[in-house]
Amino acid sequence: MVGLRSDTLSYQLVYDVRHAMPNAWALTLVFLFVFVAGFILYRRAPSFKSPRPGLIAPLLMLLGGAWTLFAIGATIIPYVGMRLHVARGTYRIAEGIVRDFHAGDSGDHRAESWTLDTPSGPQQYSYTPSILEAGYNQTAPHGGQIWDGVRVRLLDVGGRIAQLEIQR
């Protein structure tokens, strides 16, 4: 019996866009609810004695519809696009050591940034915990697991992190 030496490193999956929900999916549902409430109010407006529901209903439908479309365009469509890239294999694999790590703050004010030293050269990554960003965006104050010296492997889709694995 011949023993084989493994040349692979042990990585733990931290994030995968294929198993993640868009950050603002609940917000999209709230805006959709506002639109539906406006529609129901509009349909029932003639039965009210006051003209106010007939004025408020179109405003709710307009605002709810516009914000629903914005939320879908800003959150759900980018996630679907990133998932399609991963499914089609149109991504870049990057593996290396993190350096020049700068933690983001606890709000959305300062982006977290770092450089990944790879055999093909350094690659820069930056993100905020914004609900409008697709891909990995968990900063250190929000439980992020990236810091100087950690070895990572990731799938890069247009500069965004579609999958992140950390060596343990």
Task: Please indicate, yes or no, whether residues 38 and 104 belong to a single structural domain of this protein.
Answer: no
The strands making up 112-118's β-sheet, listed across from edge to edge, are: 11-16, 160-167, 151-157, 92-102, 112-118, 121-127
Residues 161 and 99 in one domain: yes
- Does 136 fall in a domain? yes
Q: Are residues 83 and 95 in the same domain?
A: no
Give residue 6's pLDDT band: very low, low, confident or very high (50, 70, 90): very low
> Is 161 domain-assigned?
yes
Cβ proximity of 98 and 152 under 8 Å:
yes
Say if CB 132 and CB 75 are below 8 A apart.
Answer: yes
Overall number of domains in the chain = 2
Query: Band of the pLDDT at 1, cuts 50, 70, 90?
Result: very low
Contact, 79 vs 22, CB < 8 A?
Answer: yes
pLDDT in tens, 10-62: 999 999 999 988 777 788 889 999 999 998 888 887 776 666 767 888 899 99
Q: List the beta bridge partners of residue 161.
A: 156
Sequence-separated (6 or more) residues with CB below 8 Å from residue 97? 116, 117, 149, 150, 151, 152
Give the per-residue pLDDT at 126.
93
Q: Are residues 95 and 152 in the same domain?
A: yes
Tens digits of residue pLDDT in 63-94 = 999 998 888 888 888 889 999 999 999 999 99
- How far is Cα 37 from Cα 59, in angstroms, rounded to an integer? 11
Q: Residue 4 domain-assigned?
A: no
The dihedral of CA 113, 116, 122, 125: what is its sign? negative
pLDDT on residue 5: 43
- The answer to whether residue 54 sits within a structural domain is yes
Q: Do residues 116 and 151 share a domain?
A: yes
Decide if 37 is inside a domain. yes
- Bridge partners (DSSP) of residue 43 are none
Domain encompassing residue 44: 25-87
Q: Among the three residues 87, 113, 132, which one is the final residue of a domain in this structure?
A: 87
Instruction: Name the pTM for this structure.
Output: 0.76
